[in-house]
Structure 1
Amino acid sequence: MRKYGMLAVVLSITLSAAGCSPDEDAFRDQGKMAERAEEPGGSRQTSPDHAERPSVLGFDAEGRILAVTDGETGGSVLYAINPDKGTSEEVIRTELVITEAESHPSGRLLLRLDTGEGEARLRLVGDNTAENDLIVESHDIAWSWNPEEWTKLYITAFDENWEFEVFLADASTGSLQSVEDAGPFPVWLEADGVAEIIDDGDLEDGGTLVDGNGTVLADNVLEFSSDGKMFAIAKAAGEGSIDYMIGSGNDDWLPVLNLPAEEQWLGLLPAEIEQAGPGRFVTLLPAETEDGSEASNWQPAVISARGIRKASVMVDSPVITCSPETSVCLSGAMREMLFDTADGTLVNWMDKLKGDSGE
Structure 2
Amino acid sequence: MINNKKVSVLIWFLLSILWLSACQSEETQTSPPEKEKFEKKEMVAEGLTSDIFVENIGWLSDSEILTVQNEDSNTSFYIYNLYDGSKMKIYEIPSSYVSASISPDKEKILIHSAPESYSAQVTIIGRDGEVLFQEDVPSYELTHSWNKFDANTLLMTSFSEDWSFQVFQIDVEKGIMEPLDVEQPFVQWQSDSSVLFQDWNTEEVSVSAPLVSQNILDGGKDTLVDSSVHFNQFKDSLLSISSREEEGPFTYQFITSSGEIQTEFTVDLLSRYSDWLIPYYDMIDGKGHMITFKANEPGSFDTYTGTFSLVKWDTVSGKETVLFEDLPLEPIQCTPNGEICLYGNQLEKVIDLTTTNIIQLLKEEGADM
TM-score w.r.t. the length of structure 1 is 0.73
Q: Alpha carbons of 1:144 and 1:224: their partners in 2 closer, same or farther (altered >3 Å)?
A: same
Equivalent in the alignment of 1:336: 348
Equivalent in the alignment of 1:280: 289
Query: Secondary structure, in 3 states, of the residue corresponding to 2:326?
Result: coil
Kindly provide the amino acid, as one letter, of the partner of residue 210 in structure 2: T
2:256/2:262 contact within 8 Å kept: no
Kindly provide the amino acid, as one letter, of the partner of residue 235 in structure 1: S
5 Å-filtered alignment, 1:194-233, equals: 194-200=195-201, 205-213=207-215, 214-233=221-240
Spell out, residue by residue over 1:77-100, the C-alpha distance to the aligned partner (whole angstroms, 9 max, x if none). Answer: 112222222332222121243332
5 Å-filtered alignment, 1:160-309, equals: 160-200=161-201, 205-213=207-215, 214-238=221-245, 239-248=247-256, 250-260=258-268, 264=270, 266-267=272-273, 268-278=276-286, 279-288=288-297, 293-295=303-305, 297-303=307-313, 304-307=315-318, 308-309=320-321
Question: 1:159, 1:140 → 2: CA distance?
Answer: 7
1:316/1:333 contact within 8 Å kept: no
Question: 2:227, 2:41 → 1: CA distance?
Answer: 40
Note the C-alpha offset of 1:179: 1.0
5 Å-filtered alignment, 1:1-150, equals: 51-61=51-61, 63-72=63-72, 74-104=73-103, 105=105, 107-126=107-126, 133-150=134-151
Note the C-alpha offset of 1:353: 11
Aligned equivalent of 1:310, options 315, 322, 326 = 322
2:199/2:210 contact within 8 Å kept: yes
Kindly provide the amino acid, as one letter, of the partner of residue 356 in structure 2: T
Query: Secondary structure, in 3 states, of the residue corresponding to 2:150?
Result: coil
Kindly provide the amino acid, as one letter, of the partner of residue 210 in structure 1: V
Question: 2:197, 2:50 → 1: CA distance?
Answer: 42
Note the C-alpha offset of 1:101: 2.0
Higher relative contact order (CA 8 A, sep 6+): 1
Equivalent in the alignment of 1:34: none
Q: Alpha carbons of 1:113 and 1:200: their partners in 2 closer, same or farther (altered >3 Å)?
A: same
Note the C-alpha offset of 1:166: 0.6
2:263/2:317 contact within 8 Å kept: no
Number of residue pairs the alignment of both structures matches:
310
Query: Secondary structure, in 3 states, of the residue corresponding to 2:361?
Result: helix
2:156/2:168 contact within 8 Å kept: yes
Query: Secondary structure, in 3 states, of the residue corresponding to 1:224?
Result: strand
Question: 2:50, 2:154 → 1: CA distance?
Answer: 36
Note the C-alpha offset of 1:331: 2.4
Equivalent in the alignment of 1:31: none
Alignment of 1:320 with 2:329, yes or no, is: no
Note the C-alpha offset of 1:187: 1.6
2:253/2:264 contact within 8 Å kept: yes
Q: Which moved more, 1:158-167 or 1:317-326?
A: 317-326
Higher strand proportion (structure 1 or 2):
2
Kindly provide the amino acid, as one letter, of the partner of residue 280 in structure 1: H
Question: 1:241, 1:138 → 2: CA distance?
Answer: 38
2:340/2:352 contact within 8 Å kept: yes
Kindly provide the amino acid, as one letter, of the partner of residue 229 in structure 1: D
Q: Alpha carbons of 1:272 and 1:125: their partners in 2 closer, same or farther (altered >3 Å)?
A: same
TM-score w.r.t. the length of structure 2 is 0.71
Kindly provide the amino acid, as one letter, of the partner of residue 110 in structure 1: L
Kindly provide the amino acid, as one letter, of the partner of residue 71 in structure 1: E
1:225/1:274 contact within 8 Å kept: no
Kindly provide the amino acid, as one letter, of the partner of residue 125 in structure 2: V
Question: 1:115, 1:301 → 2: CA distance?
Answer: 41
2:209/2:229 contact within 8 Å kept: yes
Note the C-alpha offset of 1:194: 2.6
1:273/1:283 contact within 8 Å kept: yes
Equivalent in the alignment of 1:40: none
Q: Alpha carbons of 1:158 and 1:333: their partners in 2 closer, same or farther (altered >3 Å)?
A: same
Q: Identify unmatched segments of 5+ residues in structure 1.
A: 1-21, 27-46
Note the C-alpha offset of 1:125: 0.9
Q: Alpha carbons of 1:93 and 1:352: their partners in 2 closer, same or farther (altered >3 Å)?
A: closer
2:239/2:255 contact within 8 Å kept: yes
Note the C-alpha offset of 1:310: 2.8
Question: 1:324, 1:160 → 2: CA distance?
Answer: 38
Alignment of 1:347 with 2:354, yes or no, is: no
Q: Which moved more, 1:295-304 or 1:139-148?
A: 295-304
Query: Secondary structure, in 3 states, of the residue corresponding to 2:279?
Result: coil
Question: 1:101, 1:193 → 2: CA distance?
Answer: 25
Note the C-alpha offset of 1:124: 1.1
